Amino acid sequence: MNTQPDVAPLIRRLEDILGKDLPEEDLDPDASLFKEDGVEIAGQPLDSFDLVEIFITLEDDLSVSLQDMRDVEEVGTIARLWSYLGREAPPERFRSFAERWAS
């Protein structure tokens, strides 16, 4: 039984924000986003502008505050970020986001 959350809506939204394809074969939802030389998703390096854009957009989309996170490692993977958003966002906003970006 797969207990992994379906992170597809988050991946689709990240692709939209970044203007980049994140190939599924290169994406491990449980892989750390933090590498020795910076942050990356599916082998795509992200700079500080990308991170700010991601955070601001997700905050707006889901009515959450990512700046209040005490431990950035709490969301150090795509799967953990998706779980965090699911816990912190108002249920109707999260459901709407998931439906909009599911495909």
Crossing angle for the helix pair 48-62 and 78-88, to the nearest 10 degrees: 30
E strands present in 1-103: 34-35, 38-41, 44-46
Tens-level pLDDT at each residue, the chain (103 residues): 344 568 999 999 999 999 999 887 888 898 888 888 888 888 888 888 998 899 899 999 999 988 766 556 678 889 999 999 999 999 999 999 999 999 7
Global confidence as pTM = 0.86
CA-wise closest residue to 101 among 13, 4, 7, 27: 13
